[in-house]
Structure 1
Amino acid sequence: MMKQNKPITIVVASDNHFVVLIAALLKSIDLNHKTDEHINFYIIEDHISAESKSQLEKIVSPERISIKWVKSREIVPHNVFFPVDSSSFPISIFFRLFAPYIIDETLEKLIYLDVDTIVQDDISKLWNIPLNEHTIGAVQDYSKTIDCEWAGIPNYAALGLTPDTKYFNSGVLLINPKKWREEDITNKVIAILIKYKKYVRMADQYGLNVVFANKWLELDPKWNWFALYKDENPSLIHFVEIKPIFLNYKFNPTFKDEFYRYLSLTPWKNFTPISGNWRLLRKIQNKLKKILLKLI
């Protein structure tokens, strides 16, 4: 009897505000997955409503894609405290650090995706890229190197790194969860973020790049193609910065059309873009929450 392939394992994290992004992402994966591997789609959820969960589960057939819900408060140990920086990123951005702990312990691979992505190719192609001796695979960020002034690793010299060291984007990660757990990567990243808090620019992306400097597998850029780039027929589109759900989206219009093509095949088919002021309000709320955490 032939040995069955282990399921493709994908992990995302979100709160209820960005469920609409998960809807488009999920449908894009569903439509473009042509091989016979089953997909386990884990959602680390931060107060996603019961109605939203029900609507998401209507998007795919459980025979092809199983949605598995994981409560964020159940994956973060009580003694773990995230560093409170001055950015407007929500605390939920750190949940990806716990992805290797929520899946079957026998699995040797997982794909982490930010929810502001859509997949334009068969996800099995990304899944089947060999990591070999690496713990993670990623795509170089559009800031390119660690000496970037607005991102990067400002204290790279003190860490013994050269300015031309490549800097990766953490929104799409191919991970060996066994090696991740063995190397205690989650605690290492959090420790780095706490120790060098004043240098942190892009939340946990800073910590991941410090821990994995010169030790990550570089993936083809098509697997994390930023929406501010021109259309090059990418395999995965990443809507960094302003998302297509906002009226002030200003990047590649073709990619926005693709997002809404997928969304039209979900219960959110009648969704219309919302004011960019809502985005700014969310950023202010995130900063206020961090100020409160500092006071606590």
Structure 2
Amino acid sequence: MGFRRRSVELLFVFWVVLWPFCLGIRSINSRLPVGGGDGFGFSMYGASEFVEAPQYRNGNDCPAIKPYASLCDPSFVHIAMTLDSEYLRGSLAAVYSINHHASCPENIFFHFIAAEFDPASPRLLNQIVRSTFPSLKFKVHIFREDKVINLISSSIREALENPLNFARIYLGEMLDSCIDRVIYLDSDIIVVDDIQELWNTKLTNPAVIGAPEYCHANFTNYFTPAFWSDPVLSRVFKSRKPCYFNTGVMVMDLERWRKGNYKKMIENWMEIQKKLRIYELGSLPPFLLVFAGNVEPIHHRWNQHGLGGDNVRGSCRPIHPGPVSLLHWSGKGKPWARLDSGNPCPIDRVWASFDLFKGKSLVAAPSMGYSSYLKQ
């Protein structure tokens, strides 16, 4: 059965069987400081409320995991995501979509990276996740922003300068040493397929990361003329055929990452950026400088990116032709903000299907399912 057909059928079951029960499930009430820009769009004095998500169980063919298994258990699928007050609503929707479509949801272990000085404390964020997903296996890791704050340079959009955007650089040292592989996902994504398929991606040696590549994109646009005119700096791509890839969806070999000290390589490029201004976009270009041309290619269906529009206007964009396993609202426009403003893009209705926030209509168009937005 095709994955999109499976998604439609699963969603139908959800609407008919589970949704009526979800409306009566308890919620959590937590006051969170509210930021501007791409954040919640809550009233400053309002309460953020999330309904408890349905619980999903493993199928008969899933590897058995002991009730009190260590996170080092080899049967776990490890997923890392950031968790903060501004994008919390997106993170919870992403987790819900992953569990909803997973063949073995009880085998997924989430690693949430929370900033030490987030307006909502890591302890409060932990409580919200636990209340929304009582049976979820997860760990909140504290990210010390002083690791990277002095390396961040100005970007074309302020949100791209958030230190938490750079936390993915430090996953090798933040996650337990027994974890040798992780899927990194941005908070503005929705998964509509079984995450196990992405986890099973083989990273052929010496690839350190796997991601969908977009070789048709004009690679020169990601760096300034100062970079391309410097004969020493631009030589980094001389022996490679670099292609653009989006760092919001990556399969990472943490064992190779640690051995190769790739964290330091990326930091070195960030130090050069502070002095010479060789790019305009936050955390993406240093990844391109280190990995472009040496990435394990993953099917494009695992990152239908750009749904948030460009980084300035955030205009609506349709999904790319072809199959869809993961939708990514990269760019300025976030689906929760557009829905709350009453001016959503058509594809935002799919995101709304997994929105657990109680402060608005939970589902914009439940009778329409995915089929109206994801072409067969």
TM-score by length of 2: 0.63
Alignment partner of 1:100 is 2:175: no
Q: Please say if residues 168 and 209 of structure 1, whose CA atoms lie closer than 8 Å, have aligned partners that are also in contact.
A: yes
Could you tell me how far 1:126 is from its partner in structure 2? 0.3
Q: Which residue of 2 aligns with 1:83?
A: 152
Q: Distance in 1 between matches of 2:219 and 2:342?
A: 27
Task: Letter of the 1:259 partner, please give it.
Answer: W
Unaligned residue ranges in structure 2 (runs of 5+): 1-62, 66-73, 308-316, 363-376
Q: Which residue of 2 aligns with 1:200?
A: 279
Could you tell me how far 1:143 is from its partner in structure 2? 7.8
Which residue of 245, 250, 264 corresponds with 2:336?
245
The superposition leaves residues 128-156 of structure 1 with CA deviations (integer Å, 9 ceiling, x where unpaired) of 011121100112359824212xx356524
Alignment partner of 1:258 is 2:350: yes
Q: Partner of 2:140: helix, strand, or coil?
A: strand
Q: Which residue of 1 aligns with 2:110?
A: 41
Q: Partner of 1:131: helix, strand, or coil?
A: coil
Q: Distance in 2 between matches of 1:91 and 1:100?
A: 17
Q: Please say if residues 230 and 252 of structure 1, whose CA atoms lie closer than 8 Å, have aligned partners that are also in contact.
A: no
Which residue of 76, 87, 99 corresponds with 1:7?
76
Q: Which residue of 2 aligns with 1:146?
A: 219
Alignment partner of 1:19 is 2:88: yes
Q: Please say if residues 28 and 120 of structure 1, whose CA atoms lie closer than 8 Å, have aligned partners that are also in contact.
A: yes
Q: Which residue of 2 aligns with 1:235?
A: 325
Q: Distance in 2 between matches of 1:143 and 1:193?
A: 26
Q: Please say if residues 153 and 273 of structure 2, whose CA atoms lie closer than 8 Å, have aligned partners that are also in contact.
A: no
Q: Distance in 2 between matches of 1:84 and 1:137?
A: 26
Task: Letter of the 1:269 partner, please give it.
Answer: K
Q: Please say if residues 145 and 152 of structure 1, whose CA atoms lie closer than 8 Å, have aligned partners that are also in contact.
A: no
Q: Which residue of 2 aligns with 1:60?
A: 133
Task: Letter of the 1:144 partner, please give it.
Answer: A
Q: Which residue of 1 aligns with 2:186?
A: 114
Closer, same or farther: CA 79–30 of 1 in aligned 2, 3 Å = closer
Alignment partner of 1:210 is 2:281: no
Q: Please say if residues 77 and 196 of structure 2, whose CA atoms lie closer than 8 Å, have aligned partners that are also in contact.
A: yes
Could you tell me how far 1:33 is from its partner in structure 2? 0.6
Could you tell me how far 1:249 is from its partner in structure 2? 9.0
Q: Which residue of 2 aligns with 1:172?
A: 249
Q: Distance in 2 between matches of 1:251 and 1:224?
A: 21
Q: Please say if residues 23 and 56 of structure 1, whose CA atoms lie closer than 8 Å, have aligned partners that are also in contact.
A: yes
Q: Distance in 2 between matches of 1:93 and 1:108?
A: 22
Q: Distance in 1 between matches of 2:218 and 2:328?
A: 19
Q: Distance in 2 between matches of 1:249 and 1:187?
A: 44
Identity %: 21
Q: Distance in 2 between matches of 1:166 and 1:16?
A: 33
The superposition leaves residues 206-265 of structure 1 with CA deviations (integer Å, 9 ceiling, x where unpaired) of 1111111311111111111022333644111110111001236978513x11211111xx
Question: How many residues align structurally?
Answer: 262
Closer, same or farther: CA 79–55 of 1 in aligned 2, 3 Å = closer
Q: Distance in 2 between matches of 1:142 and 1:259?
A: 28
Task: Letter of the 1:116 partner, please give it.
Answer: D
Could you tell me how far 1:68 is from its partner in structure 2? 0.7
Q: How does 1:255-294 map to 2 (within 5 A)?
A: 256-263=348-355, 266=356, 268-271=357-360
Q: Distance in 2 between matches of 1:250 and 1:127?
A: 35
Unaligned residue ranges in structure 1 (runs of 5+): 274-296
Closer, same or farther: CA 178–249 of 1 in aligned 2, 3 Å = farther
Q: Please say if residues 144 and 168 of structure 1, whose CA atoms lie closer than 8 Å, have aligned partners that are also in contact.
A: no
Closer, same or farther: CA 188–16 of 1 in aligned 2, 3 Å = same
Closer, same or farther: CA 83–51 of 1 in aligned 2, 3 Å = closer
Q: Partner of 1:245: helix, strand, or coil?
A: helix
Q: Please say if residues 153 and 210 of structure 1, whose CA atoms lie closer than 8 Å, have aligned partners that are also in contact.
A: no
